[in-house]
Copies of this chain bind each other. A is one copy, B any other.
Amino acid sequence: RDERAEAAARAHHLRLTKPAGSLGVLEDLGAQLAGIAGVDPPPVPRRPAIVVAACDHGVVDEGVTPWPRDVTAQMVANFLAGGAAISVLAREVGASVVVVDAGVATELERHPALLDVARRRVTGNIAQEAALDLDDARALVEAGRALVSSLHAYGIDLVATGDMGIGNTTPSAAVIAALTGRPPAAVTGRGTGIDDAQLARKIEVIERSLARSGPPTDPMSVLAELGGGEIAVIAGVVLGAMDVRIPVVVDGVISLAGTLVAAGIDPVAADFVIAGHRSVEPGATAALEHLGLRPLLDLDLRLGEGSGAALAIPLVRSAARILAEMATFDAAGVAERSEA
């Protein structure tokens, strides 16, 4: 992050025709974008891509979700056909959707917007074994990272993260518990909708998983022990955004688990992260606090897919565009306030 460009953006904001600070979070966001791009005003992101990483999870065998596993592959087909929520929200903001198969159980039909980086079909059941071999976890992170480099080379100027994976709020909560030090009960939510008894069972499964994997060591090991393919790819996407110096807008609890892993691997990556929204999942708030991120939206979303990240993209554009296009007091001939 370029601190000089960030400071220039903050000073620039004071000269624009509005009371100082009156654009609130948009001013901080504009300064962050300047810091990311290394220039004030920062470029307005016009060619975003939403990377939706998909994976199936062995832990669904523990009964943590009411949805059948087949839905992961069915939803990937829905993404590619343009009928899912993220398809619609991406169109509205002019974003492309790139789907990454990071370990979907069912064989998927080839599609130009589907990238297969899976190292194994279905992760291990984290209550009983590691989700991924350490080598596989590393390879999946690397794949996410390389994908962003390619996208950037093709002209993409902002990435957003999304996920699909039946049962994936369970490994996400486990990763968040391990990396924030909070107890499972404090970071586990109802995902797509479960009752009190199912929630208690889910927390117990996460507690068992953490007990099995032992005290967390490095973030890559936590990812391998407790995470999943989509979480690994998302961590890689966040690191990739840092590599090519573009903003990455992250979605809800699964994306934030990946962001925690990325920031654990390289703390500088957090400078490039914009939190799209606050999911209703308690693990999302825990991760946001741990990362020191303020989310742009708070709309009671709990869908995933990158939906909350896509919805935030217009705010990112507006924050950049304010710096690029607003008149200064001098140029507009507007008087400033008298000093108190």
Give residues in A with beta carbon < 8 Å to B. Answer: 16-26, 66-68, 70-71, 74-75, 77-78, 81, 83-85, 87-89, 91-93, 192-195, 198, 280, 296-303, 307, 311, 314-315, 317-318, 321-322, 325-327, 331-335, 337-340
Contacts and interface: CB of A to CB of B under 8 A. Distances in A.
7 A-B pairs closest in CB distance: A83-B327, A24-B300, A19-B192, A22-B303, A314-B314, A25-B299, A74-B334
Contacts of A192: 19, 22, 337
B21 A193 contact: yes
B26 A299 contact: yes
A68 to B, nearest CB: 5
Nearest to A66: B337
23 contacts: A16-B85, A17-B83, A17-B85, A19-B302, A20-B193, A22-B301, A24-B302, A66-B338, A66-B339, A68-B335, A68-B338, A78-B334, A83-B326, A84-B332, A87-B325, A88-B318, A88-B321, A89-B321, A91-B325, A192-B337, A193-B337, A296-B299, A311-B314
Copies in the complex: 2
A17 to B, nearest CB: 6
A70 B193 CA distance: 56
A93 B327 contact: no
Contact of A280 (B24, B298, B335): B24
Contact of A75 (B89, B314, B322, B334): B334
Contacts of A67: 19, 335, 337-338
Given A21-B193, A23-B85, 20 more contacts: A19-B193, A20-B193, A22-B192, A22-B193, A24-B299, A24-B300, A25-B299, A66-B339, A74-B333, A74-B335, A77-B333, A78-B334, A88-B321, A89-B318, A89-B321, A91-B325, A92-B318, A296-B299, A297-B297, A314-B314
